[in-house]
Amino acid sequence: MEARPRTVLCMKWGTLYGPDYVNVLHAACRANITGPFRFVCLTTDGDGLDRGVEVHPIPDFGFTERHYAAGAWPKLAVFARDLCGLSGRGLFIDLDSAVVGPLDPLFEMAGDFIAIAGGPGWRPGSANPAPRLASGVFAFDIGALGPVLDAFTADPAGALTVAGNEQEFIERQLGSGWTRWPHDWVISYKRHLMRRFCGDVIGPHRRPPAGTRIVAFHGDPRPQDLLRPGLAGRFPHLVRAPVAWFRDYWTGHGGKLARAGQDGSRE
């Protein structure tokens, strides 16, 4: 039986994450996926993206400036019944993620919608006892979740009233009908790799453990903060940069290092 098409999806708008974030993610996916796949970036600005990155505008389904500012509501556009003519299995990955292990199992795992089991219990150790859907990395069948988008387009302004961000809205629509990634596949940099009590300021940095496939960043510190010498993040999540494993990851996948005085968001 012929394998279904596979597509990695990402999304970029504004200036917080420059083209290097897309290009590094693309290179890391190429290194960690066997066989053919497509890499699609939905964006408001495709300048500076590498060849091999398929660039499409973010479909407009009634997203306002408030939707772009409060969470990441434009992600709902990937649930369009006709998304840029794509088909098969989709794997959405936030730009502030580091792909550090094989991704084939993320395409192969069964589930209508598979996402991070987030919330306060998203920490090292046992599986999260009270998970909340987090949309930093999710898999789904392209075109199959149109009803979630329909619920948004029926009242885009009202969606902001009932849900604080897009991932809460998705969870409200799916209820219990979503599957959690195995707890060691997608980990949080801040929750799983940083030490308590500012231990990353004075001690050695933890590397992603064996079995990790994606390291997700959320809030501060942000990925490029780990590249520049000095303190990064906010108390109590402070780290002394540069962080060697992330610097090696970034430059090893073609990422540039910001020159002095630059914020690194755009090279």
- Helix (H) or strand (E) holding 159, with range, is helix 156-162
Torsion of CA 78, 50, 226, 104, to 10 degrees: 60
pLDDT tens-digit series, residues 177-222: 999 999 999 999 999 999 877 788 888 899 999 999 999 999 899 9
What confidence tier does 259 reach under pLDDT thresholds 50, 70, 90? Answer: low
pLDDT digits (tens, 9 = 90+) for 35-77: 999 999 999 999 999 999 999 999 999 999 999 988 899 999 9
Of all residues in the chain, what percent carry a pLDDT higher than 90? 81
> Three-state DSSP class for 92?
strand
Q: Is the pTM of this model over 0.85?
A: yes
Distance CA 72, CA 80 (A): 16
The secondary element (H helix, E strand) that includes residue 97 is strand 97-99
